Amino acid sequence: MASYADTTQLPTDSTQLPMLVASGLSCQRGKRRLFQDLTLRVSAGTALLVQGANGSGKTSLLRMLAGLTCPTSGQVYWNGTPIRQLGDEYRGQLLYCGHLNGLKDELSAEENLMTAAALSGRAVSTTMVRSALRDVGLGGWECLSTRALSQGQKRRVMLARLLLDPRPLWVLDEPLTALDADAVTWLSHVIDLHLQHGGVAVLTSHQDIALTGSVQTCRLGS
């Protein structure tokens, strides 16, 4: 695959460009190089599944694509422009769900989602939040302290953000962790709908996830 120089901007004709491009990415942790010269091109309506053994750099790659970690070398582009130039504009285009659920135990599921929406600048109503929680199988649990929820239920609360904060790029680090079969089926459906509407999803998973849309695979450490 062709790569692009870090100091240049990609062509701006969106009809010829993938939405998300990683060009020549390298990642080094201490003396260990996790990956190098990695190039990815992800078009609208496509999911990128990042695979690899523990310690191969999957989370590091996702954090680079989300703009949370700088690569050792290389560049990430969104619609033809380096994300470091876009700054907050790029962050407003993506929703990142990491290993940690990012929930406050003292708040209820409903309060956690209302707080997350407020922090991201999204206006959501209590009705919208409760509808999202019902969709993820937590109807009747909305007002219970998050501390009382199981790990799988907490994961569902975090993933309910996908219904409340629609953005074109989803970056999901091990989203299937602690989910039961019904929740995995639900999440697969939600990701498929996101792709059908022209979105992009980047995710890691040690479990199988059945997606009907276009899926690319990137295996690290191979």
pLDDT in tens, 199-208: 999 999 888 8
38, 187 in Cβ contact below 8 A? no
Domain shared by 190 and 147, yes or no? no
Domain check: are 220 and 179 in the same one?
yes
7, pLDDT greater than 50: no
Tokens representing residue 111 in the block: 């309060």
Q: What share of the chain is helix, strand, coil (3-state, %, to 5)?
A: 30, 25, 40
> Domain boundary residue among 125, 147, 166?
166
Do 87 and 10 belong together in one domain?
Answer: yes
Tell me, yes or no, whether 203 and 112 share the same domain.
no
Half-sphere exposure of 39 (CA within 13 A, CB side): 10
Distance CA 7, CA 9 (A): 7
What is the 3 state secondary structure string of 76-142? EEECCEEHHHHCHHHHCCEEEECCCCCCCCCCEHHHHHHHHHHHCCCCCCHHHHHHHHHHCCCCCCC
State whether the Cα torsion 199-18-59-174 is positive or negative: positive
Same domain, 73 and 103: no
Residues 187 and 209 sit within 8 Å (Cβ to Cβ): yes
Q: Record the pTM.
A: 0.88
Residue 110 CA to residue 108 CA, distance in Å, equals: 5
Name residue 154's amino acid: K
Same structural domain, 85 and 3: yes
| Contact criterion met (CB below 8 Å) for 170 and 162 | yes
Q: How many domains does the chain have?
A: 2
Q: What is the CATH number of the domain that holds 42?
A: 3.40.50.300
Q: What percent of the chain has pLDDT over 90?
A: 79
Residues 185, 87 share a domain? yes
pLDDT 10s digits, 189-201: 999 999 999 999 9
Name residue, tokens 């990815």. Answer: 40
Same domain, 115 and 149: yes
Instruction: Note down the domain range covering 110.
Output: 99-166
Same domain, 171 and 89: yes
Contacts of 9 (CB under 8 A, 6+ apart): 80, 81, 82, 85
Q: Are 89 and 174 part of one and the same domain?
A: yes
Q: Choose the final residue of a domain: 145, 166, 187.
A: 166
Assess whether 149 and 193 both reside in one domain: no
Q: What is the mean pLDDT of the chain?
A: 89
pLDDT at 101 over 70: yes
Q: What is the pLDDT of residue 2?
A: 27
- DSSP conformational letter for 186: H
Last residue of a domain, one of 166, 190, 213: 166
One domain, residues 47 and 149: no
Half-sphere exposure of 173 (CA within 13 A, CB side): 18
